């Protein structure tokens, strides 16, 4: 099955490892979860650390490993309550009969059992133990209690065990567990979309408007972008159930209902704000901004005085915001725009590849009836090759209607991922 890691880049998994020989499989499980794009933090019980070291999990997850409940250093970083809130899913693999017993009885004498009580996230258990311990009445009774409490239990498989026994109690293979987790999030996303809109549960960041590049305290270089397309998209994404952050250059438009707005002026500020939003979590990044290609190398501290017939101003290339975000390791689904005056589709297709975008919407700004300051637009949308989606022509329509069609195109591509 092909997938786009960006779909899960905003999903946080706590992998809790408890004492059991199957703990060695959990190291591979971290890798597989990361392959799907999940953020993974590992919690280990004392028992787990007898089988495998925290260092292994730290290296594989890219995050420090959580082992202590009452450790001031750990609590100063991400304490147990923050961890409990951070998680979108807690997967306990392997789950020992001791941990199962603690969960079933509400004990809170170590980090993991406390997390179990403190989280609202779904908790999944992948029990792994000797077949006799699995069959023990107390274990089965505890599991029954947990299932009734809403905990999801992944049945162990049968086969030869490390202890020499043969029977039920083997932890499923890491590939299988990771696949179940990603299927769960796919299904959850689909159910959310059906109930709350095409982009339900997604965090969408949109850049809009022009940038303003100062020459001196009173003058600047800018362009004619009004921000209308980006603002219309922000509104459409919000209506489609997304949480929307709109990074706006200087424009005179009202903030759309429900949208969180961050005002910026220059391209450098727009990039800084975009990176910050990426770190706070971003599933879809839409770059509608008409970013100035160049900025003034040395902004004058005071107003430049008229003198002579010529004024030389040195310009430096601005960073490419959308291309920079597309290069980040946990990149979101990337949407770019191309406004061209000739060879429109050819240039757009080139930009899709060059900037490593997932989707690009292009329009012909040489036409006075669409584009920049107009209230209407007509666009052609291209998708990155691996989505296997045909290009789409969006007929001339209001920017609101075009925005709605773009949201549908984004949602389609996300579902083809
Ligand atoms: O290269 P060009 O400006 O034609 O590319 C247009 C696309 O790239 C738009 O999506 C625009 O928002 C984005 N872009 C950017 N940062 C730049 C230049 C363009 O994000 N410095």
Catalytic-residue membership of 362: no
Kindly list the structural domains of the chain, giving each domain's residue range(s) and its CATH number in brackets, ordered by start.
Answer: 12-192 (3.40.50.1950), 197-416 (3.40.50.10300)
Confidence tier at 232 by pLDDT (50, 70, 90):
very high
pLDDT tens digits, 90-141: 999 999 999 999 999 999 999 999 999 999 999 999 999 999 999 999 999 9
- Identify the residue whose C-alpha is closest to ligand 1 atom 2: 338
What is the arithmetic mean of pLDDT over 285-300? 97
Pocket of ligand 1 (CB under 6 A): 207, 267, 287-289, 291, 318, 320-322, 336-338, 351
By the 10 Å C-beta count (0-12 exposed, 13-18 middle, 19+ buried), 16 is classed as buried
Structure tokens at 404: 């709605």
What is the arithmetic mean of pLDDT over 33-58? 96
Give residues with Cβ within 8 angstroms of 137, minimum separation 6: none
Ligand 1 center to residue 212 CA distance, Å? 15
The mean of the pLDDT values for the chain is: 92
Return the percentage of the chain with pLDDT > 90, whole number: 78
Closest CA to 229 of 200, 206, 196, 201: 206
Q: Which atom number of ligand 1 is nearest to the Cα of residue 207?
A: 12
Q: Enter the pTM of the model.
A: 0.65
**What span, in angstroms and rounded, lies between the C-alpha atoms of 147 and 217?**
66
pLDDT tens digits, 266-278: 999 999 999 999 9
In the prediction, which pLDDT does 1 show?
A: 35
Catalytic residue among 97, 163, 237, 362: 163
Sign of the dihedral defined by the CA atoms of residues 302, 305, 307, 310, in that order: positive
**What span, in angstroms and rounded, lies between the C-alpha atoms of 128 and 61?**
22
What is the arithmetic mean of pLDDT over 51-62? 97
């Amino acid at each position: 099955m092909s997938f786009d890691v960006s779909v899960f880049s905003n999903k946080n998994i706590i992998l809790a490892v408890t004492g059991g020989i199957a703990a060695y499989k959990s190291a591979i499980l971290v890798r597989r979860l990361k392959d799907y794009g999940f953020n993974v933090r590992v919690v280990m019980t004392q028992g787990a650390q007898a089988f495998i070291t925290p260092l292994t999990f730290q290296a594989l997850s890219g995050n420090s490993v959580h082992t202590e409940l009452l450790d001031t250093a750990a609590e100063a970083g991400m304490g147990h309550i923050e961890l409990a809130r951070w998680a979108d899913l807690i997967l306990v693999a392997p789950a020992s009969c001791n941990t199962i017993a603690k969960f079933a009885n509400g004990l809170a004498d170590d980090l993991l059992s406390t997390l179990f009580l403190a989280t609202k996230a779904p908790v999944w258990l992948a029990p792994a133990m000797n077949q006799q311990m699995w069959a023990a009445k107390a274990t089965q009774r505890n599991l029954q209690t947990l299932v009734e409490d809403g905990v999801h239990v992944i049945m162990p498989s049968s086969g030869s065990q490390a202890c020499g026994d043969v029977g039920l109690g083997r932890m499923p293979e890491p590939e299988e567990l990771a696949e179940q987790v990603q299927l769960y999030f796919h299904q959850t996303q689909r159910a959310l979309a059906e109930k709350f809109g095409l982009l339900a549960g997604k965090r969408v960041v949109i850049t809009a408007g022009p940038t303003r590049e100062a020459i001196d305290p009173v003058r600047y270089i800018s362009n004619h972008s009004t921000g209308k397309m980006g603002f219309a998209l922000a509104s459409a994404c919000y209506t489609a159930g997304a949480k929307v952050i709109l990074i706006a250059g200087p424009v005179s438009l009202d903030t759309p209902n429900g949208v969180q707005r961050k005002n910026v002026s220059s391209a450098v500020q727009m990039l800084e704000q975009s990176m910050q939003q990426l770190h706070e979590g971003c599933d879809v990044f839409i770059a509608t901004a008409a970013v100035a290609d160049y900025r003034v190398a040395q902004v004058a501290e005071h107003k430049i005085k008229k003198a002579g017939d010529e004024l030389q101003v040195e310009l430096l290339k601005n960073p490419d915001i959308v291309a920079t975000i597309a290069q980040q390791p946990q990149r979101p689904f990337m949407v770019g725009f191309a406004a061209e005056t000739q060879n429109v589709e050819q240039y757009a297709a080139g930009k899709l590849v060059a900037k490593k975008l997932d989707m690009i919407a292009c329009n012909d700004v040489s036409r006075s009836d669409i584009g920049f300051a107009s209230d209407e637009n007509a666009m052609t949308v291209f998708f990155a090759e691996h989505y296997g989606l045909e290009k789409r022509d969006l007929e001339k329509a209001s920017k609101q209607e075009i925005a709605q069609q773009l949201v549908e195109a984004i949602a389609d591509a996300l579902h083809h991922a």
